[in-house]
Structure 1
Amino acid sequence: MATHALHRLNQHRVTLNEHLPVDHRLSRVYRVGAGLMGLFLLVFGILGLLHRIGFFDTGGDRVAGLNTNGTLSVLSIAVGLLLLYGMVRGGNFASSLNIVLGVAFLISGFVNLALIGTPRNFLAFGMQNVLFSFVVGLLLMVFGMYGRVTGFLPHDNPYWRARHRPPEEL
Protein backbone atom coordinates (compact mmCIF):
# COMPACT_ATOMS: atom_id res chain seq x y z
CA MET A 1 0.00 0.00 0.00
CA ALA A 2 2.84 2.39 0.82
CA THR A 3 4.50 1.76 -2.55
CA HIS A 4 1.20 2.48 -4.31
CA ALA A 5 0.93 5.83 -2.49
CA LEU A 6 4.57 6.65 -3.29
CA HIS A 7 4.06 5.77 -6.96
CA ARG A 8 0.96 7.95 -7.06
CA LEU A 9 2.87 10.83 -5.43
CA ASN A 10 5.69 10.56 -7.99
CA GLN A 11 3.17 10.48 -10.82
CA HIS A 12 1.94 13.99 -9.93
CA ARG A 13 5.34 15.50 -9.19
CA VAL A 14 5.60 19.01 -10.62
CA THR A 15 8.76 19.99 -12.45
CA LEU A 16 9.98 23.49 -13.10
CA ASN A 17 7.70 25.39 -15.50
CA GLU A 18 5.56 22.32 -16.18
CA HIS A 19 2.42 24.23 -15.26
CA LEU A 20 3.21 27.09 -17.64
CA PRO A 21 1.62 27.22 -21.08
CA VAL A 22 4.09 26.81 -23.92
CA ASP A 23 2.77 29.40 -26.36
CA HIS A 24 0.57 32.36 -25.52
CA ARG A 25 0.10 36.00 -26.42
CA LEU A 26 1.95 37.17 -23.31
CA SER A 27 5.12 35.97 -25.02
CA ARG A 28 5.18 39.28 -26.92
CA VAL A 29 5.57 41.17 -23.64
CA TYR A 30 8.47 38.95 -22.59
CA ARG A 31 10.11 39.33 -26.00
CA VAL A 32 9.75 43.12 -26.07
CA GLY A 33 11.22 43.44 -22.58
CA ALA A 34 14.18 41.23 -23.36
CA GLY A 35 14.72 42.89 -26.73
CA LEU A 36 14.66 46.49 -25.50
CA MET A 37 16.97 45.86 -22.57
CA GLY A 38 19.25 43.63 -24.64
CA LEU A 39 19.54 46.19 -27.41
CA PHE A 40 20.41 48.99 -25.01
CA LEU A 41 23.04 46.89 -23.22
CA LEU A 42 24.53 45.78 -26.53
CA VAL A 43 24.84 49.36 -27.81
CA PHE A 44 26.24 50.54 -24.46
CA GLY A 45 28.86 47.78 -24.48
CA ILE A 46 29.89 48.42 -28.07
CA LEU A 47 30.22 52.16 -27.44
CA GLY A 48 32.31 51.41 -24.36
CA LEU A 49 34.70 49.23 -26.37
CA LEU A 50 34.94 51.85 -29.11
CA HIS A 51 36.17 54.38 -26.53
CA ARG A 52 39.15 52.05 -25.89
CA ILE A 53 38.93 52.34 -22.15
CA GLY A 54 41.19 50.01 -20.16
CA PHE A 55 39.66 46.75 -18.98
CA PHE A 56 40.02 47.45 -15.27
CA ASP A 57 40.28 51.23 -15.48
CA THR A 58 38.33 52.88 -12.67
CA GLY A 59 38.92 56.41 -13.92
CA GLY A 60 35.24 57.01 -14.55
CA ASP A 61 35.13 57.32 -18.34
CA ARG A 62 31.55 57.87 -19.45
CA VAL A 63 29.46 56.37 -22.22
CA ALA A 64 25.78 57.32 -22.58
CA GLY A 65 25.90 59.01 -19.18
CA LEU A 66 27.17 55.92 -17.35
CA ASN A 67 30.65 55.11 -16.06
CA THR A 68 32.28 52.23 -17.87
CA ASN A 69 35.47 50.35 -18.58
CA GLY A 70 36.39 47.46 -20.86
CA THR A 71 35.19 44.79 -18.43
CA LEU A 72 31.78 46.39 -17.97
CA SER A 73 31.51 46.84 -21.74
CA VAL A 74 32.20 43.17 -22.46
CA LEU A 75 29.83 42.11 -19.69
CA SER A 76 27.13 44.41 -21.10
CA ILE A 77 27.59 42.92 -24.58
CA ALA A 78 27.33 39.36 -23.20
CA VAL A 79 24.17 40.09 -21.19
CA GLY A 80 22.70 42.07 -24.11
CA LEU A 81 23.26 39.13 -26.47
CA LEU A 82 21.72 36.76 -23.92
CA LEU A 83 18.63 38.97 -23.69
CA LEU A 84 18.41 39.18 -27.48
CA TYR A 85 18.57 35.39 -27.61
CA GLY A 86 15.72 35.34 -25.09
CA MET A 87 13.79 37.70 -27.35
CA VAL A 88 14.26 35.38 -30.33
CA ARG A 89 13.38 32.24 -28.36
CA GLY A 90 10.43 33.87 -26.58
CA GLY A 91 7.82 32.11 -24.48
CA ASN A 92 8.48 30.89 -20.99
CA PHE A 93 12.23 30.97 -21.58
CA ALA A 94 12.15 34.74 -22.20
CA SER A 95 9.94 35.26 -19.16
CA SER A 96 12.18 33.24 -16.87
CA LEU A 97 15.32 34.83 -18.31
CA ASN A 98 13.91 38.31 -17.70
CA ILE A 99 13.11 37.43 -14.10
CA VAL A 100 16.51 35.84 -13.39
CA LEU A 101 18.48 38.67 -15.01
CA GLY A 102 16.26 41.24 -13.30
CA VAL A 103 17.16 39.78 -9.91
CA ALA A 104 20.83 39.66 -10.97
CA PHE A 105 20.73 43.37 -11.90
CA LEU A 106 19.19 44.23 -8.51
CA ILE A 107 21.84 42.23 -6.66
CA SER A 108 24.54 43.82 -8.82
CA GLY A 109 23.21 47.25 -7.92
CA PHE A 110 23.46 46.54 -4.20
CA VAL A 111 26.90 44.92 -4.44
CA ASN A 112 28.32 47.72 -6.57
CA LEU A 113 26.74 50.33 -4.30
CA ALA A 114 28.86 48.87 -1.50
CA LEU A 115 31.96 48.89 -3.73
CA ILE A 116 31.78 52.53 -4.89
CA GLY A 117 34.87 54.37 -3.74
CA THR A 118 36.82 51.21 -2.93
CA PRO A 119 39.70 49.64 -4.87
CA ARG A 120 37.46 46.60 -5.57
CA ASN A 121 35.18 48.61 -7.86
CA PHE A 122 36.63 46.87 -10.93
CA LEU A 123 33.54 47.59 -13.06
CA ALA A 124 33.97 51.36 -12.50
CA PHE A 125 30.41 51.71 -11.19
CA GLY A 126 29.24 55.16 -10.19
CA MET A 127 26.00 56.11 -8.50
CA GLN A 128 24.31 56.54 -11.90
CA ASN A 129 25.30 52.94 -12.77
CA VAL A 130 23.77 51.69 -9.52
CA LEU A 131 20.51 53.52 -10.27
CA PHE A 132 20.58 52.20 -13.83
CA SER A 133 21.10 48.67 -12.52
CA PHE A 134 18.11 49.03 -10.19
CA VAL A 135 15.88 50.42 -12.95
CA VAL A 136 16.87 47.74 -15.49
CA GLY A 137 16.47 45.03 -12.86
CA LEU A 138 12.97 46.19 -11.94
CA LEU A 139 11.94 46.58 -15.59
CA LEU A 140 13.20 43.12 -16.48
CA MET A 141 11.34 41.63 -13.54
CA VAL A 142 8.13 43.44 -14.50
CA PHE A 143 8.46 42.30 -18.11
CA GLY A 144 9.18 38.74 -16.97
CA MET A 145 6.41 38.52 -14.40
CA TYR A 146 3.78 40.32 -16.44
CA GLY A 147 0.65 38.19 -16.55
CA ARG A 148 2.23 35.45 -14.44
CA VAL A 149 2.28 36.75 -10.90
CA THR A 150 -0.75 38.32 -9.29
CA GLY A 151 -3.66 37.31 -7.18
CA PHE A 152 -6.18 38.64 -9.67
CA LEU A 153 -5.41 36.94 -12.98
CA PRO A 154 -8.41 36.91 -15.32
CA HIS A 155 -9.91 33.49 -15.97
CA ASP A 156 -8.86 33.56 -19.64
CA ASN A 157 -5.20 34.00 -18.66
CA PRO A 158 -3.21 30.87 -19.63
CA TYR A 159 -1.41 30.83 -16.26
CA TRP A 160 -4.69 30.94 -14.35
CA ARG A 161 -6.09 28.12 -16.50
CA ALA A 162 -2.95 26.02 -16.00
CA ARG A 163 -3.14 26.40 -12.21
CA HIS A 164 -6.88 25.77 -11.95
CA ARG A 165 -7.34 22.57 -13.96
CA PRO A 166 -10.23 20.34 -13.01
CA PRO A 167 -9.19 17.39 -10.80
CA GLU A 168 -9.86 14.85 -13.56
CA GLU A 169 -7.10 16.43 -15.71
CA LEU A 170 -4.51 16.04 -12.95
Structure 2
Amino acid sequence: MAHTPVNHPARPIYRAIGGLTGLYLVVFGALGVITSAGDELFAQDGTQVLGQGTNLGFSLVSIVLGLIVLAGTALGRNIDVVIDQWLAYLMMIVSLGGLAFIRTDANFFNFNIPTVIVFMAASLVLLVAGMYGKVGTDEEQEAWQKARLVL
Protein backbone atom coordinates (compact mmCIF):
# COMPACT_ATOMS: atom_id res chain seq x y z
CA MET A 1 0.00 0.00 0.00
CA ALA A 2 1.35 3.38 -0.99
CA HIS A 3 -0.08 5.13 2.08
CA THR A 4 1.51 2.76 4.60
CA PRO A 5 4.65 4.31 6.13
CA VAL A 6 7.94 2.56 5.44
CA ASN A 7 10.68 2.55 8.11
CA HIS A 8 8.60 4.59 10.55
CA PRO A 9 10.85 5.80 13.41
CA ALA A 10 8.59 4.19 16.04
CA ARG A 11 8.31 0.81 14.29
CA PRO A 12 10.14 -1.11 17.04
CA ILE A 13 7.63 0.26 19.55
CA TYR A 14 4.69 -0.73 17.35
CA ARG A 15 6.17 -4.18 16.86
CA ALA A 16 6.54 -4.57 20.63
CA ILE A 17 2.96 -3.40 21.18
CA GLY A 18 1.77 -5.98 18.64
CA GLY A 19 3.73 -8.66 20.48
CA LEU A 20 2.23 -7.59 23.81
CA THR A 21 -1.23 -7.85 22.28
CA GLY A 22 -0.43 -11.40 21.18
CA LEU A 23 0.86 -12.16 24.67
CA TYR A 24 -2.38 -10.82 26.18
CA LEU A 25 -4.42 -13.07 23.91
CA VAL A 26 -2.37 -16.10 24.96
CA VAL A 27 -2.66 -15.28 28.68
CA PHE A 28 -6.39 -14.60 28.40
CA GLY A 29 -6.89 -17.83 26.51
CA ALA A 30 -4.84 -19.86 28.96
CA LEU A 31 -6.77 -18.45 31.93
CA GLY A 32 -9.98 -19.17 30.04
CA VAL A 33 -8.97 -22.78 29.43
CA ILE A 34 -8.16 -23.19 33.12
CA THR A 35 -11.43 -21.57 34.20
CA SER A 36 -13.67 -23.41 31.75
CA ALA A 37 -11.98 -26.81 31.98
CA GLY A 38 -14.61 -29.52 32.08
CA ASP A 39 -17.30 -27.38 30.44
CA GLU A 40 -18.66 -27.91 26.97
CA LEU A 41 -16.63 -26.43 24.10
CA PHE A 42 -19.19 -23.71 23.33
CA ALA A 43 -20.96 -23.45 26.69
CA GLN A 44 -23.12 -20.38 27.12
CA ASP A 45 -22.87 -19.91 30.85
CA GLY A 46 -21.55 -17.14 33.06
CA THR A 47 -17.86 -18.08 32.78
CA GLN A 48 -15.70 -14.96 32.99
CA VAL A 49 -11.98 -14.35 32.85
CA LEU A 50 -10.54 -10.88 33.47
CA GLY A 51 -14.10 -9.53 33.40
CA GLN A 52 -14.77 -10.93 29.95
CA GLY A 53 -17.18 -13.67 29.01
CA THR A 54 -15.54 -16.72 27.53
CA ASN A 55 -15.84 -20.45 27.08
CA LEU A 56 -13.44 -23.22 26.16
CA GLY A 57 -13.86 -22.64 22.42
CA PHE A 58 -13.16 -18.90 22.56
CA SER A 59 -10.25 -19.47 24.92
CA LEU A 60 -8.66 -21.89 22.46
CA VAL A 61 -9.25 -19.46 19.58
CA SER A 62 -7.61 -16.68 21.63
CA ILE A 63 -4.57 -18.85 22.30
CA VAL A 64 -4.18 -19.72 18.62
CA LEU A 65 -4.55 -16.08 17.52
CA GLY A 66 -2.08 -14.93 20.18
CA LEU A 67 0.47 -17.56 19.16
CA ILE A 68 0.15 -16.53 15.51
CA VAL A 69 0.74 -12.88 16.45
CA LEU A 70 3.73 -13.83 18.63
CA ALA A 71 5.21 -15.98 15.86
CA GLY A 72 4.83 -13.14 13.37
CA THR A 73 6.41 -10.71 15.81
CA ALA A 74 9.34 -13.06 16.37
CA LEU A 75 9.88 -13.61 12.64
CA GLY A 76 9.64 -9.94 11.66
CA ARG A 77 10.65 -9.16 8.05
CA ASN A 78 7.20 -7.67 7.34
CA ILE A 79 5.59 -11.04 8.09
CA ASP A 80 4.36 -9.49 11.32
CA VAL A 81 2.84 -6.60 9.35
CA VAL A 82 0.76 -8.93 7.19
CA ILE A 83 -0.25 -11.15 10.12
CA ASP A 84 -1.17 -8.20 12.33
CA GLN A 85 -3.29 -6.55 9.65
CA TRP A 86 -5.18 -9.68 8.57
CA LEU A 87 -5.79 -10.89 12.11
CA ALA A 88 -6.96 -7.40 13.07
CA TYR A 89 -9.60 -7.51 10.34
CA LEU A 90 -10.60 -11.04 11.37
CA MET A 91 -10.86 -10.02 15.04
CA MET A 92 -13.01 -7.02 14.10
CA ILE A 93 -15.42 -9.26 12.22
CA VAL A 94 -15.56 -11.73 15.13
CA SER A 95 -16.15 -9.00 17.70
CA LEU A 96 -18.86 -7.33 15.62
CA GLY A 97 -20.47 -10.73 15.07
CA GLY A 98 -20.29 -11.36 18.79
CA LEU A 99 -21.96 -8.02 19.42
CA ALA A 100 -24.70 -8.81 16.93
CA PHE A 101 -25.50 -12.16 18.56
CA ILE A 102 -24.77 -11.30 22.18
CA ARG A 103 -28.29 -12.01 23.53
CA THR A 104 -29.19 -14.89 21.28
CA ASP A 105 -28.55 -18.61 21.18
CA ALA A 106 -26.03 -17.94 18.39
CA ASN A 107 -23.59 -16.46 20.94
CA PHE A 108 -21.44 -19.58 20.80
CA PHE A 109 -18.27 -17.77 22.05
CA ASN A 110 -20.16 -16.59 25.19
CA PHE A 111 -19.40 -12.92 24.48
CA ASN A 112 -20.51 -10.10 26.70
CA ILE A 113 -20.07 -6.35 26.20
CA PRO A 114 -16.62 -6.15 27.88
CA THR A 115 -15.43 -9.03 25.69
CA VAL A 116 -16.53 -7.21 22.56
CA ILE A 117 -14.85 -3.97 23.68
CA VAL A 118 -11.56 -5.61 24.62
CA PHE A 119 -11.45 -7.81 21.51
CA MET A 120 -12.19 -4.80 19.27
CA ALA A 121 -9.56 -2.70 21.04
CA ALA A 122 -7.00 -5.49 20.61
CA SER A 123 -7.85 -5.68 16.92
CA LEU A 124 -7.38 -1.93 16.51
CA VAL A 125 -4.02 -2.11 18.30
CA LEU A 126 -2.93 -4.90 15.95
CA LEU A 127 -4.09 -2.91 12.94
CA VAL A 128 -2.06 0.13 13.98
CA ALA A 129 0.96 -2.07 14.74
CA GLY A 130 0.64 -3.61 11.30
CA MET A 131 0.33 -0.27 9.55
CA TYR A 132 3.33 1.37 11.18
CA GLY A 133 5.66 -1.62 11.45
CA LYS A 134 6.60 -1.95 7.77
CA VAL A 135 10.30 -2.21 7.02
CA GLY A 136 11.73 -1.48 3.59
CA THR A 137 14.73 -0.29 1.64
CA ASP A 138 15.82 3.32 1.47
CA GLU A 139 14.37 3.53 -2.05
CA GLU A 140 10.97 2.34 -0.79
CA GLN A 141 11.08 4.86 2.03
CA GLU A 142 11.98 7.66 -0.38
CA ALA A 143 9.16 6.65 -2.74
CA TRP A 144 6.72 6.65 0.19
CA GLN A 145 7.93 10.10 1.28
CA LYS A 146 7.43 11.46 -2.25
CA ALA A 147 3.97 9.91 -2.54
CA ARG A 148 3.02 11.25 0.89
CA LEU A 149 4.06 14.77 0.00
CA VAL A 150 2.06 14.70 -3.24
CA LEU A 151 -1.17 13.84 -1.44
* Class of the TM-score when normalised by the shorter of the 2 chains: 0.7 to 0.9
Q: Say if 1:164 and 1:47 are closer, same or farther in 2 by CA, change over 3 A.
A: closer
Q: Distance in 1 between matches of 2:107 and 2:91?
A: 16
Relative to 1, partners in 2 of residues 1:24 and 1:110: Cα closer, same or farther, differing over 3 Å? Answer: closer
Count of paired positions = 140
Partner of 2:113: 127
The question of whether the paired residues in 1 share the 8 Å contact of 2:14 and 2:133 is answered with no
Larger-gyration structure (1/2): 1
CA distance in 2, matches of 1:74, 1:137: 17
Change in CA separation of 1:57 and 1:147 when aligned onto 2, cut-off 3 Å: closer
* Coordinate RMSD, CA, aligned: 2.8
- The equivalent of 1:83 in structure 2 is 69
List gaps (5 residues or longer) in structure 1.
1-15, 149-156, 166-170
Structure 2: where are the runs of 5+ without partners?
147-151
| Deviation of the 1:147 alpha carbon | 6.2
The one of the two structures with greater contact order (alpha-carbon pairs below 8 A, sep at least 6) is 2
One-letter amino acid of the structure 2 residue matched with residue 100 of structure 1: W
Deviation at 1:47? 0.8
1:6 counterpart residue number: none
> Residue type matched to 2:141 in 1?
W
Give the aligned residue type for 1:136.
A
Alignment of 1:61-100 (within 5 A): 61-100=47-86
State percent identity of aligned pairs. Answer: 33
1:48 is displaced (CA, Å) by 0.9
Distance in 2 separating the partners of 1:69 and 1:140: 23
Match of 1:106 in 2: 92
Take 2:139 and 2:25, find their aligned partners in 1: how far apart are those partners? 31
How far, CA to CA, are the matches of 2:55 and 2:20 in structure 1?
22
TM-score by length of 2: 0.79
Q: Once the two structures are superposed, what CA deviation does each residue of 1:122-154 show, in whole Å capped at 9, x if it has no partner?
A: 100111111112111111111111266xxxxxx
Q: Deviations over 1:20-61 (max 9, x none)?
A: 97x887652453133101111111111111111431111120
